[in-house]
A and B are shown apart, each in its own frame.
Chain A
Amino acid sequence: MYKIDPAKTELAREFKDKPFGPHSAELQKVLNVMRWEPVEGKYVLVNTVPHKEWCLAQLPGKRGIPVKLHEDVKFTDLGEAEWYIFKMRWKKHTGQDLALD
């Protein structure tokens, strides 16, 4: 199974510059590994103001209960939201904060 290498920050840079692709083959591997997260706890975006504002949220592991909203994390740009989720997942997979200069 592919492991995300925390040293390959150039892949993070590529994602930051172009969150919606197309991506290089190696970045696509990183994204696919990240996107295989189970439903429980998966980061999603709830559109709180139509076409204008998105709130970070997590899916609960159980049906029939509210999606967990992170009201303090809102975005007005979907690319920024993608980048935020990417950084959280980077940390989860590599154990390291993603620091780009």
Chain B
Amino acid sequence: MLKLLSYTDRLWARPGEDVTVFASAEGFDSIDVELVRLICGDDSPKGPGYREEEVAGTRQTVAATFQPIHAGSCIVADDAAPLHTLDDATLQILVWPTTPETGEQAVMGIWDSRNKAGFLLSIGPEGAALTTGDGKTVSRVATGAPLVAREWYLLAASHDAVNGMLRIAQHPLNRDGRGEVAHAAVADKATPPRASAETPFMVGAAWGGPGNADGLRPVQCFNGKVEAPRVLRHYETDLAGLNEAGSVAPGARGVALAWDLSRAMTGLRVEDVSGNGRHGRTVNLPTRAMTGHDWTGDEHDWRHAPDQYGAIHLHDDDIGDAGWQATARVSLPEGLRSGIYCIKLSGGGHEDMPPIVVQPPRGGKTADIAFLSSTATYQTYANYHHGMDDAGAEMRSASATILSPSDAHLFEHRELGHSPYDTHSDLSGVTVASARRPMLGYRPKAGLWSFNADTHITAWLDDCGFAWDAISDHALHDEGLALLASYKVVVTGTHPEYWSTSMWQAMTAYLDGGGRLMYLGGNGFYWRIAFHPEFPDALEVRRAHAGARYWIAEPGDYHMAFSGELGGLWQRIGTAPQKLVGIGTVATGFDSCGWYERLPDSTNPRASWIFEGVGEDERIGDFGQLGGAAGLELDWVDRTLGTPAHCLRLASSTGHSSQYLQTIDTMTFNHTAVAAPVNPAVRADMVFFETPNGGGVWSTGSIAWAASLASDGYNNNVAVITGNVLRRFADPTPFEQGN
């Protein structure tokens, strides 16, 4: 459906730096490229109007071609040559298949799928199978018994060169009376395995030739967990005797390769413990640090019991780096004003606009106000399929599901990968979001959510003449407090939901040092994420414990692989958003929006300046592009979760429809009164409090707030209040610590 797709090598940059664009063009061969400053990305006729400005002198025309994505994760040996020359060989591995019913899936081997050459241990409708081929003929032996999904098995396969014997065995590890039995089969006069020299040794996929996934194309991808793959240098007649992976001691004689997947789990490398140095690497970012066949349930942190976390979950729709050839290099001019920019690509009547946050020069802020672009949240939302893949989505939107052309493209083109809101094809949760692939939805002219919704804030800053710098989550993660320290005030987007530890610590330190924070959104500071230590374009989310999870992490899988940290909600780590910004998630609803009414604290001299120009009985935000300023996702105060004792609750929202429900993580049990207008918890609390050293925090607690800013040419009480706070926060006069 879409003919022009692209991604960039970075999500933020500084003037004078280059951005590399990777594009795929289908049906045309050249693309016009130019840099544009995005003023407002919302092209809805109900909105303030789409606006962009071309950056003079940045236009170029470049050649382009179609570039495919080769999705599907696997593990590949660095050097397969020594394994090619093994005459007799035995393969063994532990597997926990998730889609054994969906067709032939490669488990391990050296298998050239195009020429049907080499040897392959696979699973499929005939159970575990061993196939050998020489490019002309193929031999195969299978157990004949399909595997059961989500149960551990030892698979073993053996080949004898002299007599052409093939053996295969599948051995269930759960012998708990459910009737699963071991199966084995044998064949003779088999075709000798003869793969071309370039065919790699792979676990979880067969070789489809050269490709874009780290140089190769994974095919016949396996869905499920794999553990302890090993290659032995001899023909084994008693495969049942291999009945536990541990029965072959690493380093033992006769072991050609033994990957211990519980080592170096944060990274891309896979270590061979056979002593032969036959290490490997993961391709397309499978999920590591998953519970293995011997997880006892006593330990939930893989760092404390790595040997029980020796499994990697492979998915046929994992995608790490799309691996495209560079299409264009865009140089950001020196002196380019900081802001939200896009690289506008057009060709063949199609357009794509990957965004770039242009930060000020390093160490040289150009304004007192910083807008923190929620790039981590945008990345997490990219390639979102939930509305299309989950039967409950229409209940959530309270209207028919509307697909943009991008959504329809995503439905069809699963090789673009999914978002952590989605499940994989095997219905396991998506934990990884890579930025090295086209990120549909993370674009202007998309739905009013996340990236695009945040341009209402930056348009307001521009239109009201505020001088501001743009900074990004990714830079905040990398540079920490230094990025924030010199700003008088930091303004968030509408939905700053995903925070790494480094980002969180930087924001806390900034506030402790007298910084000021305007939280202009809802459901912020909610999930903890980690960035990959070796491939920082990928981030990880584990939907642990509680929250609006969309999928539920398996027992034992709550700690992130990228960092080892406990994943899930920040609240579950003892630092709820209430501690940082006074409020945290309490309710959601997506059909309509409400408004705010002032509370007695709003006349407290500590905060009354916020409402200058607004009447005491005025409804705040009973207007706007979404019908009201209080809506979508709402946050409230909760002293028990850390709302500062001196926090002023200035206003609270009302007017919410019965589609607004209290969130799961804030309830201890369910009942029929969890919805508005009969649940007092369904509300956004607007709060203000002072922080040490003269700083302060002001929070709106509503994703919809910014969509009311532009009403009546910015002449409205939402814009007045936001402007009052911004001007005061940009004023260096310290706030006195409240009581």
Contact = CB atoms under 8 A, between A and B. Distances in A.
B728 interface: no
B673 interface: no
Nearest to A25: B658
A54 B402 contact: yes
A7 B425 CA distance: 42
Interface stretch (B385-393, B434-442, B464-472, B474-482): B385-393
B401 interface: yes
B591 A59 contact: no
Given A46-B408, A51-B45, A67-B411, A85 B400 contact: yes
Most chain A CB within 10 A, of B390, B398, B399, is at: B399
Nearest to B659: A21
Interface string A61-94: 0011111000000000010011001000000000
A57 B400 CA distance: 11
B412 interface: yes
Give the size category of B's interface with A. Answer: 20 to 34
B296 interface: no
Main secondary structure of the interface of B (DSSP, over half): loop
Most chain B CB within 10 A, of A44, A54, A66, is at: A44
Given A63-B425, A65-B412, A45 B402 contact: yes
A36 interface: yes
A2 interface: no
Interface string B482-508: 000000000000000000000000000
B220 to A, nearest CB: 15
Contact of B412 (A36, A67, A78): A67
A47 B402 contact: yes
B678 to A, nearest CB: 12
A97 interface: no
Give the size category of A's interface with B. Answer: 20 to 34
A55 to B, nearest CB: 10
Contact of A21 (B402, B405, B407, B591): B591
B391 A38 contact: yes
Contacts of B591: 20-21
Contact of B400 (A44, A48, A65): A44
A46 B391 contact: no
A35 interface: yes
Contacts of B398: 20-21, 31
A43 B407 CA distance: 15
Contacts of A45: 400-403
A54 B388 CA distance: 16
A63 B411 contact: yes
Given A21-B398, A54-B402, A63 B43 contact: no
Given A36-B391, A50-B43, 5 more contacts: A19-B399, A20-B592, A37-B391, A42-B391, A50-B445
Interchain residue pairs A-B with the least CB separation, the first 8: A35-B394, A44-B401, A64-B414, A46-B403, A45-B402, A66-B412, A67-B408, A35-B395
Interface of A: 19-22, 28, 31-32, 35-39, 42-48, 50-51, 54, 57, 59, 63-67, 78, 81-82, 85
